[in-house]
Amino acid sequence: MTAFTGIPKQVEEVLTTHRRGFLKNAGLLVVSFAAGAGGLIMEADAQDSTTAHPADPYPDLDFRQLDSWIVIHENNTATFYVGKTDCGQGTGTSFRQLMSDELDIAFDRTACIMGSTDNTVDQGGSGGSTAMERDSWPMRRAAAEARRVLLEMASGRLGAPVDRLAVSNAVIAVKADPSKRVTYGELIAGRKFNVRLTGANVNVVTGVAKVKPVRELKSTGQSPQRDDIPAKVDGSLEWAVDVRLPRMVHARNVKPPFACARLTGIDESSVRSLPGFIRVVAKGNYVAVVCEREEQAIRAARQLKTTWEKPATAPFPASENLFDYMRATTPTSASNPIVTGNTEAAFSSAAKIIEAEYEVPFQGHTAFAGAHATADPSDGQMTVYSNDMKSYGMRNGVATFLGMPREKVRVVWMQGPQGFGRTAADDAGCEAAWIAREVGRPVRVQWMRDEETAWDTKSPAFLVKVRGGLDAGGRLIAYDYRARSCDYNHVGYNEPDTVLIAQLMGSRRAKPAAGSSATPSEMYAIPNRRMAGEVVSLPVVWETPLRTGNLRDPNGPQSTFAAESFIDELAAAAKADPLEFRMKMLQAATTDDGGFRRARSIAVFNAVAEAYGWDPRPSPKPESKANILTGRGIAYSFRGQTVVAQIAEVEVNRQTGHVWAKRLVCAHDCGLVVNPQSLRHTVECAMLHGLSRAIHEEVRFDTEKITSTDWVSHPTLRHADAPERIDIVLVNGDPNPNRPDLPPYGAGEAALKPMLAAIANAVYDATGVRIRRVPFRDDRVLAALKAARL
């Protein structure tokens, strides 16, 4: 299992030694055949880029070398090396499916190694649901090229032209005489392909061979079980948290008790006599304690006496005043409005105008375990064992942060708790590396629960005002969308100057990242519309736990909550069925984009309505006297080219205000489906993540610190919240018969996006009460019901 599940430490050294030795030394391939047909590019004696700087232990892998992607073994199996990490969606299994199809080898004769910077080419790791959409393409092309090269080699070996050869499961045979055969392993095992690929960057790199048409893919479209799961259920997987090295010590951070606090004193005598104590390490406002054992470090970090000075002014408003603050604050930036038609003229002719304002608070990534990393400073190098989803970015960040040549730094990616983008801006890697260099021993760092929940990156709060004008026939003729996000100084990917330890040590960018707001993602034909976004800043932007980062479709859930709630409000104002109201706006257009998103939007609406059994009627339902009120809500959105429509059926308890999503239905179109089972699971969990954000999640704070510090004060979805039934329909709504080879689009983020609005719309349908503030906690819903005298 190990080869399939990241690189557990006990095999990592072996693998690394083998891999590096292979890439450096095994240039033994003798090209003994003509390199003419098909433009075969062979470099029998080409200098491998990995030997360019022999003194550097970890040079970059050359993405233009076929050997960087694929190794064929003597036993006629293959290992694929990809520059991606898996956050829990099973992408490694899907890459194996696509690559084994292109290589013409059975899925179960392959393995996939992911995301370690000295073993795999830099494809950026994970993020943005790009695994299948963008990053599977160079993998497929490399595998196709390997197949082509092997056919050329077999042609020489078997004395038959390539077009007279057939390939099946890594065996090449002469069509006319199948007894003449040779395996991939016999052709190349133990040696390098030494084939150059071309292309300006890793995303476009290609060989000469073309990828197969979809109809010829065999494993793709099937659902082989995910290869990482067995070791996750029998306890054998070595995770990043499990790394243990000789002489390793444990560190724990001592976080400032207030945002923007200045460290004025450390009393080391408060912990010096504790068992296992090694030392306190500190610079600027960053403080950590190092001990021999983990529980000793935890105790010492808690017990260390430190003194801090509060900032002169409050770093932020209290969470209950956040939206008033956002309303009153002058934006730091504003986007150029997207304008169609003449919105104000249309409003002046409208028969009915409605207006609403929606509020989404800061929500945490709140990964299931705190940030963690183990760093080994041996031999003047730095190896970081990490679950960072962007391991390549961490390598660069750590190297710059420490002032080390990046060729002396590597990140070994291993599995970890899903963070929905948290590990793109991982903090523990730089911390572990810095402390390891300070103490000269391998160091393991892990954040505690309160530290992670309070100080992780946050999804920005949004305040969205929307105004709509209906004509006398109930058509939406004027639409004005204005979003304001609290997103100034959005943290990037492992940036050495914005990672928290750097901020605490005093690093300041001349200009913080501008941040962004977002406009709705829908294909409605609205003749006159204006959409604009603004960003506001909190009073302070550095050394604050309210630092924003990318959380699973950054900004999409917030803007979609507002936009799709408002469409529902318009439908109710027009006394129209909310599905039909949307469909009319989709059908009113006559043009579409290159990916047919409008037609595919109509298709997912049709599919979700059919799967649910939607009966057309306006919302809300007629008033009921029952204690449990039921309703259904619909919402839709797209992310990139992935289009999603969802229906939620909820029960609202009139006595308690509790909302339970009893049934969820999703129609999902992401083009080519590689592994339907993995995709369904990904969609299912993304929907439930959306549900969690809809009903539970909110970061709370007073004017100097975060008060959400654990699973009680920042609650998450629980077993009792799980729906009774979830239906997922995988739609291929592409109307163009000339596109039989639909590309795969992204999954994982799009399915979260509409859920908040679907729940809000269902609550409205059940109760007639519109909840415009996330999350729909029991007390908030109950107060709204009471205010409406329900």
Partner 1 sequence: MSNITLKVNGSTHTLDIEPATPLLYILRNDLGLRGPKFGCGLGQCGACTVIVNGAAVRSCIMPASSVKGEITTLEGLSSNGRLHPLQQAWIDEQVPQCGFCQNGQIMTAKALLDKNPHPADAQIRESMNATLCRCMTYYRVQTAIKRAARIIADAQPVQPVPGKPASGKEVAA
Residues 6+ apart with CB under 8 A from 36: none
Least distance from partner 1 to the Cβ atom of residue 721, Å: 7
The phi and psi torsions of 247 (rounded to 5 degrees) equal 65, 15
Question: What tokens does 194 get?
Answer: 């030494």
Exactly one of 157, 283, 509, 681 binds partner 1 (CB under 8 A); which one?
681
Least distance from partner 1 to the Cβ atom of residue 93, Å: 10
In whole angstroms, give the CA distance from residue 783 to residue 764: 14
The one-letter code for the residue type at 650 is V
Binding pattern for the stretch 253-272 against partner 1, x by CB under 8 A and - elsewhere: --------------------
Binders of partner 1 in range 449-468 (CB under 8 A): 449
Exactly one of 51, 198, 225, 736 binds partner 1 (CB under 8 A); which one?
225
Nearer residue to partner 1 within complex by CB, 224 or 496: 224
In whole angstroms, give the CA distance from residue 72 to residue 150: 10
Closest CA to 171 of 191, 187, 189: 187
Only segment of 75-83, 205-213, 294-302, 766-774 that touches partner 1 (CB under 8 A): 294-302
653 binds partner 1 (CB under 8 A): no
The phi and psi torsions of 633 (rounded to 5 degrees) equal -140, 150
83 binds partner 1 (CB under 8 A): no
In whole angstroms, give the CA distance from residue 183 to residue 187: 6
Q: What angle do CA 355, 357, 361 make, to 5 degrees?
A: 170
Residues 6+ apart with CB under 8 A from 209: 38, 141, 144, 145, 147, 148
Tell me if 270 sits within 8 A of 303, measured CB to CB: yes
Q: How many CA atoms lie within 13 A of 48 on its CB side?
A: 23
Helix (H) or strand (E) holding 698: none
Helix (H) or strand (E) holding 110: strand 110-114
218 binds partner 1 (CB under 8 A): no
Nearer residue to partner 1 within complex by CB, 88 or 768: 88
Only segment of 34-42, 178-186, 231-239, 333-341 that touches partner 1 (CB under 8 A): 231-239
* # chain residues binding partner 1, by CB under 8 A: 58
717 binds partner 1 (CB under 8 A): yes
Exactly one of 1, 162, 214, 685 binds partner 1 (CB under 8 A); which one?
685
Helix (H) or strand (E) holding 220: none
Exactly one of 639, 658, 689, 777 binds partner 1 (CB under 8 A); which one?
689
Exactly one of 232, 310, 509, 663 binds partner 1 (CB under 8 A); which one?
232
**SS3 call for 396:** helix
Only segment of 125-133, 366-374, 435-443, 518-526 that touches partner 1 (CB under 8 A): 366-374
Angle between helices 578-587 and 556-573 (to 10 degrees): 100
Nearer residue to partner 1 within complex by CB, 19 or 252: 252
Only segment of 14-22, 23-31, 561-569, 705-713 that touches partner 1 (CB under 8 A): 705-713
230 binds partner 1 (CB under 8 A): yes
Total residue count of the chain as it appears in this document: 790
Question: What tokens does 308 get?
Answer: 């801090």
Least distance from partner 1 to the Cβ atom of residue 628, Å: 15
Nearer residue to partner 1 within complex by CB, 368 or 587: 368
Nearer residue to partner 1 within complex by CB, 194 or 418: 418
Question: What tokens does 393 get?
Answer: 């970015």
In whole angstroms, give the CA distance from residue 14 to residue 3: 11
Least distance from partner 1 to the Cβ atom of residue 445, Å: 12
Only segment of 106-114, 289-297, 558-566, 767-775 that touches partner 1 (CB under 8 A): 289-297
Question: What tokens does 682 get?
Answer: 């990904």
In whole angstroms, give the CA distance from residue 782 to residue 771: 11
**SS3 call for 444:** strand
**Helix runs in 91-212, H state only:** 91-103, 136-158, 184-188
Only segment of 258-266, 412-420, 479-487, 512-520 that touches partner 1 (CB under 8 A): 412-420
244 binds partner 1 (CB under 8 A): yes
Find tokens 């079980």 and name the residue. 225
Name the percent of the chain in helix, strand, coil, to the closest 5.
35, 25, 45
Exactly one of 168, 236, 321, 627 binds partner 1 (CB under 8 A); which one?
236
Closest CA to 554 of 129, 175, 245: 129
Binding pattern for the stretch 88-127 against partner 1, x by CB under 8 A and - elsewhere: xx--------------------------------------
246 binds partner 1 (CB under 8 A): no
Residues 6+ apart with CB under 8 A from 47: none
In whole angstroms, give the CA distance from residue 491 to residue 493: 7
416 binds partner 1 (CB under 8 A): yes
369 binds partner 1 (CB under 8 A): yes
241 binds partner 1 (CB under 8 A): yes
716 binds partner 1 (CB under 8 A): yes
Only segment of 329-337, 416-424, 636-644, 780-788 that touches partner 1 (CB under 8 A): 416-424
Least distance from partner 1 to the Cβ atom of residue 204, Å: 31
In whole angstroms, give the CA distance from residue 97 to residue 111: 10
The one-letter code for the residue type at 743 is P
421 binds partner 1 (CB under 8 A): no
203 binds partner 1 (CB under 8 A): no
Exactly one of 353, 711, 732, 769 binds partner 1 (CB under 8 A); which one?
711
Question: If you ran DSSP here, which 8-state letter would residue 173 be given?
Answer: E
Exactly one of 19, 226, 668, 696 binds partner 1 (CB under 8 A); which one?
226
Interacting residues with partner 1 (CB under 8 A): 87-89, 225-226, 228-230, 232-239, 241-242, 244, 275, 293-295, 298, 366-369, 415-418, 446, 448-449, 677-678, 681-682, 684-685, 688-689, 691-692, 710-712, 716-724, 726
